[in-house]
Structure 1
Amino acid sequence: MAQDFDRALREGLADAIGFVGGALAGWGLGRLLGVDFIASTDWNAQQMGALVLIVVGCGVGRWAARRVMLKDRP
């Protein structure tokens, strides 16, 4: 049971860290490209592209965090 709890805890932490870190990375990339989705009140193609960067960042961050944190321990 302790192994199940440990794995569930690592999965939850990996998801949380991955989602937040990935979203921040996607937002930062959008800002580097000149589009700040968070600060804008417009809804145009540039803003939608910036939103896509944030969403893709969430997915990639979650994937990367799970790869790192859920490696089988010897």
Structure 2
Amino acid sequence: MRKIQVGVTGMTCAACSNSVEAALMNVNGVFKASVALLQNRADVVFDPNLVKEEDIKEEIEDAGFEAEILAEEW
């Protein structure tokens, strides 16, 4: 398991953060996604054997938001 932080811009309301979280949870290999609207950040726990960081970034962008990998926590 790995945990990363992703900066997400373009979210303006709770519905935005919910749609980002739902999009991330639909990715095969993502086990947990927590989106913080006010911090413009998503914390994602995933299996690197099933999904890549770039796939996570692209999923957020496909949902209509900008994304940038900020940090790997562990």
Which structure carries more helix by proportion? 1
Which structure carries more strand by proportion? 2
TM class by shorter chain equals 0.3 to 0.5
With structure 2 as the length reference, what TM-score do the two structures score?
Answer: 0.37
